[in-house]
Amino acid sequence: MTNLRKGITLAIAFVMTTLLMTSCQEDEMANQVDNTVVSDQVIKQLTQLGFDPSDVYKEKFNNPLTGDQGFNYVVEGDILISQEQLDEMSNSEIFHTGKFAEQYRTSNLVSQNRTINVIGYTANNANGLDSKMRTALSWAIDNYNALNTGLTFTLTFGSNFSPFDMVVYRVNGSGGGSAGFPSGGNPNKFIQIQSGTSNFDTNVVEHVIGHEIGHSVGLRHTDWFNRSFSCGTGGSEGTAGVGAIHIPGTPTDIDPNSLMLACFSANEDGEFGQFDRVALEFLY
């Protein structure tokens, strides 16, 4: 009788332990799924703001320079938007300026007539820009300073990035970059350039860096309404329920020479297209 009771007790304990372990594992799995899921509400917000949400995903980020962690939505391949910024844009008055830029009043363009201090991060580690990236960054900054705008860019190379408005650094990846939009009148601070970008010509690297700086001062993809033009695939959202106002002096169709096309090729020259310059000078 004693042995039977012990056997029953052990069996019950084993079942309870198994159930507890299974429950914990299921909870952990549920938490992992919840952390990366993109809700229908977020997709709706992105669509209403004129983004193509067809390939949006939620990504955990760990800024190697600051140690900051969190989650961003990655939209249209290279645009990083936090939930806070998405809500901010959704709740602000929207003034769409055609295919080149989105102006979100009071928060999503850089404030006028100011200096933007840029640092190319050059610490001796995996995040420091290589020689080709440094040259390309210099060229890209020269392009922005050649525009007739109220924005002036300065460029420094070093590792003390804290006091700077914009930090360009290297991350592991096959090629390309990523950046966010301005907030509170300030440009997006951190621009990531993937290590594989240096496998291309310096002009292509210049193009990628100039493109990400463009996002950081508020520019959208020129072909935001149909990314299949430059990428081969991609959705078309039209005006996504909000009025698009065409920038005077720019074409009403896709500009094949724009620096701000969603995807780049190995033949880029790194320079602004004519209508990129018109758009930037209109905004700033």
Q: What is the pLDDT of residues 21-40, one digit of tens each?
A: 434 343 443 344 456 788 88
Helical H runs in 158-272?
Answer: 202-216, 228-231
Residues 6 or more apart whose CB falls under 8 angstroms from that of 69 comprise: 60, 61, 62, 63
- Which residues, listed in sequence order, are joined to residue 115 by a DSSP beta bridge? 152
Report pLDDT for 226.
67
Low-confidence stretches of the chain (pLDDT beneath 50): 2, 4-33, 94-107, 237-245
Report pLDDT for 38.
87
* Strands 79-81 vs 166-171: parallel, antiparallel or unpaired: unpaired
- Dig out the tokens for 137 from the structure: 């960054």
Rounded to 5 degrees, φ, ψ at 35 are -70, -25
